[in-house]
Amino acid sequence: MKRLIVFALAAGTAAQAQRPTIDVSGARVQAYPIALAPAAGAPEGGDVMEVLALDFDRSGLFRLLDPRSFLADPAKEGMSANTIDFSKWTAVGAQALVKAVAKVEGDVVKVEFRLFDVPHAAELLRGEYSAPRAAIRQIAHRFGDDVVRSFTQEPGVFQTRIAFVRETDNGKQIVVADSDGHGAQQVTSGSINLLPAWMPAGRSLAFTSFRDGAGAHLFQVDLATRAVQQLVKMGDFATGATFSPDGIRFAFSASQAENTDIWLSPIEGGIMRRLTESRGIDISASWSPDGKRLAFVSDRAGSPQIYTMAMDGADVRRITFQGNYNQEPAWSPKGDLIAFSGRDEHRVFDLYTVNVQTGKVTRLTQNEGTNEKPSWAPNGRMLVFSSTRTGKKQLWTILPDGSNARQLTLEPRGASDAAWGPLPRP
């Protein structure tokens, strides 16, 4: 039997009208407004909150609300959501709220934290953090990292450490400090020691030193024992060690017969291999996060510029073409950018990033002293660098878009050559 099929002629036959389309890109990032309520309980809670406030401010993730603007009465509010009048926190612009209560038991300080989502009047995070009285800053760093992970699903870097070079009466010494510049501990003594580089796992540092009286060569120091041993002695000098992300090899620069090249060595020792063979100077290697390429500086085209090459020295690509003196490349943990310092037409060094794919150069610092030696935080959300903007060279942090510069060190004679350490192992 044949059937007559009836079509709904109207369905879908009308031609869709054509509408114009535009693209809007380049979102600005706005720090998340957060209120840190005054800590209740022992006065040590206030000290912890002060450290937490500085961590949050430096991160650029949060905009701290001024406690003088708070409408809520801390004496009437408890720690649980049902005791908090969130409308009073909304009224001052808070999107997130941190509450804390501290107590001291013997030499141990314990702080109970709660993190709230103010618009939804919901608790996001809670926990009790404890530490010896001498290490209460770590309480703030640990909770701060948990807050960052709670929002971004990425690790925070408040518990990481930064190595740098301290100017002293007796030369330049390698120092390791917390990520906020506190707790600085000198790990070398005597001679001139430069360019610290974190070895895998963060338990030791490689550095360049003149300590053996035969020019600059590479050494390593165990951070627990302070024991120093030679890492590489080669040619006229060997400098600028950088370790591969997988931790099994390192690159460095060495000069032989008046020619400086990048070399590659297994970390356990063995046969070293020369990666560059140009007549120019090739220095300052920095690994890509996938360990497949190295960024470096070469003057093979007449002026120092940033290049990249494959790990076997092949496929060399010039990355920077603007300016006539670009140096100190640092490949970002996300792999998209290389930070470097470059000299502008006023002969002042400033920080820049170059997009590895597009070649676009973005300036991060300007008209604020000399700014050099960028090093990325392991989560790629901050950089540390040295700057003369307040006088002597000190360490500062900055966000990858050039905003939120914050001073980190207050070294009497100056600080430089910062290297941001790896994330702490769980």
Please report which residue ranges of 189-345 form alpha helices under DSSP H.
none
**Contact with other proteins (CB under 8 A) among 192, 402, 423, 424:** 402
Give min distance, CB of 89 to other proteins, in A.
Answer: 15
200 lies in the binding site for other proteins (CB under 8 A): no
Q: Candidates 108-116, 249-257, 272-280, 379-387 — which segment interacts with other proteins by CB under 8 A?
A: 379-387
**Contact with other proteins (CB under 8 A) among 361, 377, 415, 418:** 361
222 lies in the binding site for other proteins (CB under 8 A): no
Separation of alpha carbons 28 and 24, rounded Å: 11
388 lies in the binding site for other proteins (CB under 8 A): yes
Ranges within 146-165 binding other proteins (CB under 8 A): 151-154
Decide whether 110 or 406 has the Cβ nearer to other proteins.
406
Nearest to 231 by CA among 223, 222, 375, 245: 222
352 lies in the binding site for other proteins (CB under 8 A): yes
Give min distance, CB of 175 to other proteins, in A.
Answer: 17
Instruction: Say if CB 93 and CB 87 are below 8 A apart.
Output: no
404 lies in the binding site for other proteins (CB under 8 A): yes
Give min distance, CB of 323 to other proteins, in A.
Answer: 4
Ranges within 69-88 binding other proteins (CB under 8 A): none
- Biggest alpha carbon distance in the chain? 106
Q: Which residues contact 168 (CB under 8 A, 6 or more apart)?
A: 413
Look up residue 338 and give its two tokens: 């290389």
Cα dihedral sign, 104-107-109-110 = negative
CA of 227: how far to CAs of 37, 120, 166, 170, 240, in Å?
45, 53, 19, 19, 20
Separation of alpha carbons 184 and 186, rounded Å: 7
Ranges within 241-300 binding other proteins (CB under 8 A): none
Q: Candidates 19-27, 164-172, 215-223, 282-290 — which segment interacts with other proteins by CB under 8 A?
A: 19-27
Ranges within 306-345 binding other proteins (CB under 8 A): 321-323, 334, 336, 342-345
